[in-house]
Structure 1
Amino acid sequence: MESMSGGRARAIVVMGVSAAGKSTIAARLAGELGCRWIDADDLHPASNVAKMAAGEPLTDDDRWPWLDEVGRRLANDAGRGIVIACSALRRAYRDRIRRLAPEAVFVHLTAAPELLERRAAARTGHFMPASLLASQIALLEHLDDDEVGVAVDVAADIPAIVGTARDWILARERGASS
């Protein structure tokens, strides 16, 4: 499928734990690829936001409807190109997204826990408290070999991180069209 910008259809999830920089990287990556971007945090129902703001981790039952909405948005906008910043921490969550958007690819933002802890402690104005970072790190399942995606270390500067992700996506598309 071709996108409106003339490129391949794109359904990209920028994933990782809190404070990895998902929103920043997703927004910049979308800009470089000429895609729309959405922060999946904005798709959470109010009950999920309230739980997280209170320092209470979400359960899988809390997440399923949210992940279904992420999958629907990816599927609906892939033809125009879309990048969504979404934690997608477990394989089951990514499988849930792919159930609705099988073309989705994942850019997994990784970092040493110490860097993530410093970033989380320095963040202000976000509903996700730094106290939940440890639970996210414990829950995280890295991409399996059979999942279409790339891991990118966020210790580099933002242009380098975005460049690595962009280059992987473009190389993958060139390979798929050969």
Structure 2
Amino acid sequence: MSQPLSVPESHPRPALIVVMGVSGSGKSTVGAALAKAISRPFIDGDDLHPKSNVEKMSRGQPLTDEDRFPWLAIIRSTAERVCAEQAHSGEVKEGDRPAAVVVCSSLKKIYRDILRGQHAASTKMPAEEDTSEKHPSGAHLPASPALQTYFVFLDGTENLLMDRMSARKGHFMKASMLKSQLATLERPGEGEDGVARIDIDATPEEVEGAVRKAVKDMVGM
């Protein structure tokens, strides 16, 4: 098994910036805008689900934590590879910080810890799962400690989230599913470093501005 590229010491420690929150919080829009603002790659975490998860979801079966753990490890490893490729290809200048912006709901603390590169033993890819075709270049390899993870938590009241979801015509997410997500959500606490909470009860421009400021203060970008 090949090892992932590492970021040269001439660059600062690479950053994984995760835009998190329940459905309706605006993760995809905010994440794409942030990636554009800091000129770094944007990754939709849902695009990295292994085949077994995709097949399960297509049958209408909810994913378990055991399904999600390897997927979260894939997200982190993919971000590591993307950051290393930036440095080696010259996409970021020497001395600049490689980074990737990822959208992932990250509702539970253990999910966030896996994205931080912790709980490696519980994120082992099942032996029968072959992800080499979908995730080339060792994207599913165990995470290294090189990547530093930050979270932008898009937070809003249930009424606000429901109003926003109701305005999204044809969206699959139903009211009961939002309630389930809110019940699952373990709000980042004071003991979690590298988390910025952003109140989404504002205009899109104000939210994006607040996110941009938080990332600049927290990540230095």
The TM-score normalised by the length of structure 2 is 0.68
Q: Is the 8 A contact 2:150 2:219 kept in 1?
A: no
Q: Which amino acid letter does the alignment assign opposite residue 112 of structure 1?
A: T
1:112-170 Cα shifts (integer Å, max 9, x gaps): 001111222333455x5223211110010111223211000111112211211111221
Q: Counterpart amino acid of 2:15?
A: R
DSSP-derived class of the 1:104 partner:
strand
Mark the CA change 1:104 to 1:54 in structure 2 (over 3 Å): closer, same or farther: same
Range moving further from structure 2, 162-171 or 51-60: 51-60
- Aligned twin of 1:140: 185
4+ runs deviating over 3 angstroms: 6-9, 45-57
5+ long unaligned stretches in structure 2:
1-6, 84-96, 118-142
Among 64, 81, 98, which residue is 2:99 paired with? 81
Which residue is 1:16 aligned to? 21
Contact 2:19–2:151 (Cα < 8 Å) also in 1: yes
C-alpha distance in structure 2 between counterparts of 1:53 and 1:120, whole Å: 22
The structure with more radius of gyration: 2
**Matches of residues 64-103 of structure 1 in structure 2 within 5 Å?**
64-78=69-83, 80-99=98-117, 100=143, 102-103=147-148
CA distance in 1, matches of 2:27, 2:55: 21
1:164 equivalent in alignment to 2:182 = no
* Number of aligned positions between the proteins: 171
Deviates more, 1:137-146 or 1:46-55: 46-55
Report if aligned partners of 1:11, 1:77 keep a CA contact under 8 Å in 2: no
Matched AA of 2:21: G
1:76 CA displacement: 2.2
Any residues of structure 2 matched to 1:104-119 within 5 Å, and which? 104-119=149-164
Structure with more helix by fraction: 1
Aligned to 1:32: 37
Kindly indicate whether the alpha-carbon contact (under 8 Å) linking 2:20 and 2:151 is maintained by their aligned counterparts in 1. yes
3-state SS of 1:13 partner: strand
Q: Is the 8 A contact 1:57 1:132 kept in 2?
A: no
Q: Secondary structure at the match of 1:115?
A: helix
Shift of 1:40: 0.7
Deviates further, 148-157 or 76-85? 76-85
Identity of aligned residues (%): 39
Partner AA of 1:154 in structure 2: I
